[in-house]
Amino acid sequence: MRILIVDDEKSIRTTLKIFLEREGFVVDTAETAMHAMDLIRTVSYDILISDIIMPQVSGVEFLEEIRLSLPDVPILMMTGEPTVETAVVALQLGAFDYLYKPIQKDSLVKTVKQAAKARELALQKQALEQDKLEYQLNLEAMISRRTVDLDKSMQSTIKIMTSLIDSRDPYTSGHQIRVGNLSAALASQLGLPRFAATGIRVTGYLHDIGKLAVPSEILVKPTRLSRYEFEIIKTHSESGYNILRDLSLPWPVAEIIYQHHERLDGSGYPQGLHGEEILPETRILTVADVVEAMASHRPYRASLGLDAALAEIKQHAGTYYDPDVVAACLKLLNEKGYEFENTYYESSFLGI
């Protein structure tokens, strides 16, 4: 360990230096507090020993200055005029211990070794704290990397699921993406935060995943469906819920999909939910789904057109559809010139 002795008397500096070097310490000396402070700026010391009565800057002033910059370094104070008041002041300012002149070798060595043990403990504590900090930083970096990887994996999973549905029902290819994008635009128009809008977009991309359980010949049938076939089609909401209910996502995706054919007046399916029983996100998705479906071509009919789609939601606002969502949709399409997007947006599914 390295020690700095500060005393204006050369004989004392020399004597203490000899005593402590014999004990294996590395010792530097300074004749004034100013000189000591210059050394401390360039050299790392483990223990400081300072006289109290010195010219220019006293030992007490030196102690006050150093204690701020070196809080964990033990400082021993020396004086040839010991008083209780001086000792109390020194200890209150953070001195480790107090030595009386003339300094006895045994007393010096014993006190310095005690200070050395305290310094070792302080260094060990610093090392532990540094290790803890590095561990936390490394852990945070690892979690961040894994979160990014998980996010990318989820994005890939969603994209693959969307592609699977399109491959089963090529005549309505792109429907889910357009519904997802319109749903997100409606969410933003309604003032929902970006993260919520992203969740609705993701749900839109997956809302017809239950059609994977519907026979392909029904999905692509070029004529109007029979009542029996339509009942089979209607099962896709519950099938979608069953497919996704165990998928861990930060939004209620499965529940929204389960409800996306419900109507405010209870006339929807499969549960016949009413009003507030239907999730707010579902009410947004429902309007987007109806508008896009009516404005697009289907195997059994040509496009009914955007005007007919908007007339439908306007006519049934408050009965089938949430009136606030309908108003937002009309504003978005009529006033803001929104156009259906076929772009698949790889939004962050974890909000990172």
Q: Which residues are tagged catalytic? A: 211
**Could you give phi then psi for residue 45, rounded to 5 degrees?**
-110, 150
Question: What is the token pair recorded at 137?
Answer: 């930083």
Instruction: Give the other-Cβ count within 10 Å of 72's Cβ.
Output: 12
CA distance 335 to 329: 10
CA distance 247 to 219: 25
What is the distance, to the nearest Å, from the Cα of residue 261 to the centroid of all Cα atoms in its chain?
35
Residue in 258, 262, 291, 288 with CA at minimum distance from that of residue 276? 262
Sheet harboring 47-51: ordered strands across? 26-30, 2-6, 47-51, 75-79, 97-100
Burial class for 115, CB neighbours closer than 10 Å (0-12, 13-18, 19+): buried
Instruction: Give the other-Cβ count within 10 Å of 287's Cβ.
Output: 28
Burial class for 314, CB neighbours closer than 10 Å (0-12, 13-18, 19+): middle
**Could you tell me whether strands 2-6 and 26-30 are parallel, antiparallel, or unpaired per DSSP bridges?**
parallel
CA distance 305 to 212: 27
DSSP state of 301: B
Burial annotation 158-167 (CB, 10 A radius, 16+ → b, else e): beebbeebbe
| Plot region of 149 (φ>0 → left; ψ -120 to 50 → alpha; else → beta) | alpha
